[in-house]
Every structure is written in structure tokens, then in C-alpha cells.
Amino acid sequence: MSSKFRNTIGKTFLLYLPLLLLFISVFNEFDFNYLNYKYFSFNFPFILIFYWSLKRIETLGYGFIFIAGMFNDAVLGFPIGISSLTYLIICGFAAYLRNITLRPSLTKDWLYFLFTISFANSINYFLLVLFFSIEINYYEILGNIIFTFLLYYIFAHIFDIYRKILLRIKI
């Protein structure tokens, strides 16, 4: 009974680990910006949301992604709703790719991810600058896009391994 109970808790934890990671990354805003390398920062929630929306959306869920976006706005001090919109745009792009893909390939996903985050960040930038008159450094965003894009490849490999583990234990 006890081992069955432990098994269930372990499985639930493994299933919801990406969601937990999303909320931790949103609350903690870990982008390694404190390393103080010029223009180095990356957006971990973008990678997480795109990958899991593409491969297994039931792990995150649109509702939780929306809430995570609201939390991110509160932490960063942005107008409420802007990160939710950005995250949901990424979900939309990922869902479209999922629907049109017959043979998945990491390289294609990777390039499509670049297009997706460029579009999502552009919407974010224009809304903040034009609609809310908040000044933002364009080069910081560009740096953020490039590093997020480059790191997607590494994280996608890690998440692939994780997804295989989930499949093996039939979650």
C-alpha cells in the first residue's frame, strides 16, 4: 500500500515537474542575468512553454500558462496580461506546428522556435513601447532572443530524455 502510494506521488511529481519548473522560473526569473555578461540573458519560460506545448500540452495546460504569465508580469512590474499574451502566442504557434507536422524534426522545430519567439517578443516590445510608453533596450531583447534560441537546442535534448522517461513509466 505504502509503495503504491509512493509510486503515485512520484508519478504525479514527474508529470507536473515541467509545470513546477515554469512557476519557479517565473517567480525566480532565472535568466543568469546576474552573471553580468553583456546582453546575456535567456527566457527559460519561452523554451519550456514552446517545447511542452509542441510535444505534450496536457503537462502544462493553457490555464496554468496564462496564470504563470500574470505572475511574471507582477514580478517584472509589467502591465498585467502582457506576458500571458506572449506565452499564449507561443502556445498558438506550437499548436499550429503540432497540427501540421507529420515527421517531427528537432532542427525544424528549432528554426520555427526562432520565428515564434521573434514574433512574440516583437508583439511584447510594440505593446510596451507604443501602448504603455515603457522604454526598453532593443539590443537586450535581441540578445535575449538569440540566447533563448541557441539554448533551446540543449534544453530540447534534455526534455526529450525526460519525455522518454515519462513514456517508459507510462505516465
Partner 1 sequence: MATSRDDFVIAIRSAFLKKGNQQRFSLIGLIFFSVGLLILSKINLPFTNYLKITLNEIVYRTSFIVSVPEKKILDLSNKIQDHYNVYNDYVLVKEKIKTLESKKYETQFLEVENKRLKKTINEYIFKSDELVAKVLIDKNSPFLKSVIVNKGSKDKVKLGMAVLDGSYLVGKIVEVNYSTSRALLVSDLNSKIPVGIEPGNIQSILSGTGKQNGKIEYLETDILIKDKSIVYTSGSGGLFKSGIPVGIYHIETEKEYEVVHFFSKLSQLTFVKLVSFEEGSN
**Binder of partner 1 out of 98, 118, 155, 166 (CB under 8 A):** 98
**63 contributes a contact to partner 1 by CB under 8 A:** yes
Q: In sequence order, which residues have a C-beta less than 8 Å from that of residue 81 and are 6 or more positions away? A: 69, 70, 73
**Binder of partner 1 out of 50, 51, 84, 120 (CB under 8 A):** 84
Distance between CA atoms of residues 53 and 57, nearest Å:
4
Considering only residues 17 to 56 of the shown chain, the ones binding partner 1 according to CB under 8 A are 24, 27-31, 33-34, 36, 39, 41
Distance between CA atoms of residues 74 and 26, nearest Å:
10
Pick 6 or 96: Cβ nearer partner 1: 96
> Which stretch in 4-12, 72-80, 149-157, 158-166 sits in contact with partner 1 by CB under 8 A?
72-80
Alpha helices per DSSP H over 33-101 = 44-55, 62-76, 82-100
Question: Minimal distance in Å, beta carbon 119 to partner 1?
Answer: 14
Question: Minimal distance in Å, beta carbon 7 to partner 1?
Answer: 21
Pick 78 or 159: Cβ nearer partner 1: 78
Distance between CA atoms of residues 131 and 85, nearest Å:
14
> Which stretch in 93-101, 112-120, 149-157, 159-167 sits in contact with partner 1 by CB under 8 A?
93-101
The three cell numbers of residue 106 are 528537432
Which helix (H) or strand (E) segment is 40 a member of? none
